[in-house]
């Protein structure tokens, strides 16, 4: 039976000694820290998807402004903007805790997946038919669904506009999506982060735990 170890920052499990010749459980299932970040709940991923693609829906509303569909796209874009604002308030008012990170991998390359969604509105004519508008909306919805299903909604291009970057970071408790504004290559000690959901850590800029 594993033994729970108290730690002021996290709690982790220490396996008891394994007799010679016996296979260690971690060799069969792999260490938790070696696994990808948790996807999180479907509801959270849908909300983050709306936030990540809010500009795309806004552009689609602009391009289809002569159609009643423009109000639908505008509502989705505004909902995504609200999610962003709520997330910012959670980070600002949330309780930051010190985390010590191991390997940190940059996920900026995954942002390229959003380019296709942002290009969809460019193919919609302001005087386009309803069929053309619906087709573009379906394509955009499929792109959003793929990002929601794979967890790529955590790599939000809007974060990069405000100077943040998204990483995959390992701590004792496992692997998390890390959103940071400072240069992670220069980190030499614990960093104060606010945890959002089960798999996201957001750096609290300017606060460092020594």
pLDDT value, residue 171: 87
Indicate the SS3 state at residue 181.
coil
Domain presence at residue 18: no
pLDDT value, residue 125: 66
Residue with tokens 């693609």: 53
Q: Residue 191 pairs with which residues in a beta bridge?
A: 99, 208
pLDDT value, residue 18: 47
Domain presence at residue 35: no
pLDDT value, residue 83: 92
Overall size of the chain counted in residues:
210
pLDDT value, residue 66: 82
pLDDT value, residue 174: 83
Q: Which domain holds residue 60?
A: 40-209
Report residues of the chain scoring pLDDT below 70.
Answer: 1-34, 124-128, 205-210
pLDDT value, residue 10: 42
Domain presence at residue 4: no
Domain presence at residue 94: yes
pLDDT value, residue 20: 53
Helix axis angle for 54-63 and 130-150, nearest 10°, is 180
Looking at the 3D structure of the chain, how many domains does it have?
A: 1
Domain presence at residue 132: yes
What is the C-alpha to C-alpha distance for residues 53 and 48, in angstroms, rounded to an integer? 9
Domain presence at residue 147: yes
Domain presence at residue 21: no
DSSP state of 123: G
Domain presence at residue 11: no
């Amino acid at each position: 039976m594993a033994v729970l170890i108290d730690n002021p920052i996290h709690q982790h499990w220490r396996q008891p000694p394994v007799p010679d010749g016996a296979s260690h459980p971690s060799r069969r299932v792999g260490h938790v820290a070696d696994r990808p970040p948790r996807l999180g709940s479907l509801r959270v991923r849908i909300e983050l998807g709306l936030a990540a693609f809010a500009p795309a829906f806004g552009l689609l509303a602009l391009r289809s402004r002569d159609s009643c569909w423009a109000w639908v796209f505008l509502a989705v874009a505004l909902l995504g903007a609200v999610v962003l604002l709520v997330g910012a308030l959670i980070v600002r008012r949330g309780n930051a805790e010190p985390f010590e990170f191991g390997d940190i991998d940059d996920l900026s390359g995954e942002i390229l997946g959003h380019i296709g969604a942002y290009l969809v509105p460019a193919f919609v004519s302001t005087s386009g038919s309803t069929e053309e508008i619906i087709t573009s909306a379906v394509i955009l919805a499929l792109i959003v669904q793929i990002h929601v299903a794979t967890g790529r909604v955590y790599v939000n291009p809007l974060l990069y506009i405000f100077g943040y970057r998204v990483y995959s970071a390992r701590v004792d408790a496992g692997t998390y999506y890390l959103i940071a504004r400072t240069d992670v290559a220069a980190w030499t000690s614990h960093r104060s982060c606010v945890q959002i959901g089960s798999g996201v850590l957001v750096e609290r800029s300017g606060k460092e735990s020594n």
